[in-house]
Amino acid sequence: MASVFDVTLVCLILAVGAWSTFARLTFSAIVIFIVYGLLLSLAWVRLAAVDVALTEAAIGSGVTGMLLLNAVARLRSTDAAPTPSRSSVNIAAGVFCTLITASLAGLVLVPPQVPVSLAPSVMESLGQSGLGNPVAGVLFVYRSLDTLLEKVVLVLALIAVWSLAPDGLWGGKPALRPFPQRDSVLIFLARTVPPIGIMVGIYMFWVGADEPGGAFQGGAVLAAMWILVMIAGLAAVPPTSSHALRLALIVGPVVFLAIGILGIFLTGTFLAYPEGYAKPLIIAIEATLTVSIGVTLAMHVVGPPEKEWRS
């Protein structure tokens, strides 16, 4: 029988999700969405996927929440749009959505006869790569092409965001407005929390090889700390044309690609790690990835350049 906690958690998630969808004000919708994200990471813990819970909390609701809050602050002027009207189209859409949900629920209720899983084959050959965490194994050993392509997607999305700046401001500084007053409390926070945060981020990346954690989650924490410092005004927002920023952006994918190509010369196949050296190589990849992901996520939140900057 499903435990009471699970049932309440699911009901809570659905309630908060519905509330966020139908909230009158966009600002409250987004705040509720962040709560929804945290509840979801609880659900991931219940589904015994701690890695994913960390990712959901860090990226799914953390950084995305920051992004949406920043957006709603900018859009405050156009917020008074009415809630969805009760027109016939909406009712029809509702009916179709329930039909889709019903068909999916029907599938969920009838689990496949023979449970099918790749877990045994993952565990059986995980030992060769020296990694302890199976999810990290899948990400960086078995399906490393996915991870590489996904990194390229992240970098390309950033180029796309930057491309939305007007011609004149290309290479300029993104307009993250630091907190207006020279307020002591936020600066105090920005001075004390980041060291802990950075330590937690690095710990998360480091432990990722054997325990749940990894480059993505660590990178997200680092990004959060950097944004906190920038908002408090302690650190200047780097111009998008700064050489250091761009190098930091691409150091992750470049190292990943280099090691992949190295695999061709040493073992004859792309993205294959030579015997015995798998773990150090993967750690090297993850280290640079953490830095790149951190910088990229922060730059996504900060947005396209909006101020003149002549280096």
Partner 1 sequence: MTLILDVFTIAAVTVGVFFFVIAALAFLRFPDGLTRLHALTKVDNVGLGLIVFGLLPQAGSVMGALKLICVWLLVQFSGAIVTQLIARSTRREGQEA
Partner 2 sequence: MAAAETSSIAGLLLVSVLILPVVGILAQLALGGRFLNWICLAVFPASFGVSAATCAVVWSHGEPLIYIVGGWQPPLGIALRADGISAAMMLVTAIIICAVAIFARVEFTQPSGAPEARAPFVFWALILALWSALNALFLGCDLFNLYVALELLTFAAVPLVCLKGGEATVKAALRYLLFALLGSMLYLMGTALLYGAYGTLDITLLAQRVHPERVTWIAAALMTVGLLTKTALFPLHLWLPPAHAGAPAAGSAVLSALVVKGSFFLIVRLWFDAMPGLGHTAGPQLLASLGAAAILFGSVMALRQQRLKLLVAYSTVAQIGYLFLMFPLAMAAEQSWTSLAWTGGWLQLFSHAFAKAAMFLAAGLIADALGHDRINDLGGAGRLRPLTFCTFGLAGLSLIGVPPSGGFVAKWLLLSASVAEGQWIWAAVIVVGGLLAGGYIFKVLGRAFTAGSDAPVIVTPVSLSREVVAFSLAVGAVLLGFFPLEPAEILQIGRPEILGSTVP
Partner 3 sequence: MAIMNAITIFGLCAAALVGLGIFGLIVNPQPLRKILAINILGSGVFLMFGVIARRGAAAGLGGDPVPQAMVITGIVVAFSATALAVALLLRLVLVSGAATLEAEAEPSEKDGR
Q: Under rule CB under 8 A, which residues in 139-168 are in contact with partner 2? A: 141-146, 149-150, 152-153, 155-157, 159-160, 162-167
Instruction: Give dist(CA 84, CA 100) in Å, integer.
Output: 21
Cβ(239)–Cβ(162) below 8 Å: no
Closer residue to partner 3, CB minimum distance, 158 or 228: 158
Among candidate residues 194, 190, 197, 22, the one with its CA nearest the CA of residue 94: 22
The site that binds partner 2 (CB under 8 A) totals a number of residues, namely 54
SS3 content of the chain, % helix, strand, coil (to 5): 70, 0, 25
Within residues 10-29, the interface with partner 3 by CB under 8 A covers 10, 13-14, 17-18, 20-21, 26, 29
The kind and range of the H/E element at 66 are helix 64-74
Name which of residues 199 to 228 contact partner 2 (CB under 8 A).
none
Q: Which of residues 136-195 bind partner 1 (CB under 8 A)?
A: 181, 183, 185-186, 188-189, 192-193
> Contact between 79 and partner 1 (CB under 8 A)?
no
Residue ranges with strand state E in the chain: 173-174, 305-307
Size (the chain), residues: 311
C-alpha–C-alpha distance, residues 88 and 121, integer Å: 51
Tokens linked to 229: 């410092």
| CA 114 to chain centroid | 34
Pick from 170, 175, 197, 284: which binds partner 2 (CB under 8 A)?
170
CB of 73 to partner 1, least distance (A): 12
Contacts with partner 2, residue ranges (CB under 8 A): 103-104, 106-107, 110, 112, 116-118, 121-122, 125, 141-146, 149-150, 152-153, 155-157, 159-160, 162-167, 170-171, 241, 243, 246-247, 249-250, 253-254, 257, 260-261, 263-264, 267-272
